[in-house]
Amino acid sequence: MARFFLDHVWYFITVPTNDHEPIFHRLEFRGVLLEKLQTAFRKFSINKYHFSIMSDHYHILIYVHEGAVIPKLLHFIHGGTSFQLHLDRPTSIWGEYHVYVHATEELLDRVAGYVVGNPIKHGEVKTFDALLIWPFSSFSLLVEQVGRISAQEMVHSTIALEDADFSVR
């Protein structure tokens, strides 16, 4: 599917594993994806971002100067993780990705809370103290940016929302 991407925009991207298989329940596999995300952010000059990695999907919220970088970034992440994990599969480990563009600053804050709070939503961590040190979420980065109380409020305000709640209608 051909997609058109805008320049100088925040993008919320969700990528599930194929058939939502919990490939990343193994922390060493999750670590491979984390390393690939961090490398991709550096390689493609993504300096403003948030992320979370779950057992069967990941979320990124990124600001891009050039929208055309998004397919390259995702190809780098997905090809790299597939290669490094050496899983003997007849199909890709990745499903179809979903992309949303934020419409307002308020929505951007809500998306950031949703992204970094996803491990709490899915029960992979139980408390904000645990989330603060959980390497598979950028919650600690959000805390550095806005303070702990504000970061927790951003997560609380979105914890029950689904990805589709962030789409622009």
Per-residue pLDDT at 20 exceeds 90: yes
- Tens-digit pLDDT profile for residues 129-151: 999 999 999 999 999 999 999 99
Query: What number of other Cβ atoms are within 10 A of residue 78's Cβ?
Result: 18
Distances (CA, A) of 69 to 3, 34, 49, 101, 117: 12, 19, 14, 15, 26
Arithmetic mean of pLDDT over the chain: 90
- Specify whether the CB–CB gap between 88 and 23 falls below 8 A: no
Q: Is the pTM of this model over 0.75?
A: yes
Residue 10 confidence (pLDDT): 95
- Specify whether the CB–CB gap between 15 and 99 falls below 8 A: no
Domains of the chain: 9-166 (3.30.70.1290)
- Specify whether the CB–CB gap between 65 and 45 falls below 8 A: yes
- Tens-digit pLDDT profile for residues 65-109: 999 999 999 999 999 898 888 777 777 899 999 999 877 888 899
Residue 91 confidence (pLDDT): 77
Which residues in 1-48 belong to E strands, given as ranges?
A: 9-16
What band does 1 get if pLDDT is binned at 50, 70 and 90?
low
Residue 144 confidence (pLDDT): 98
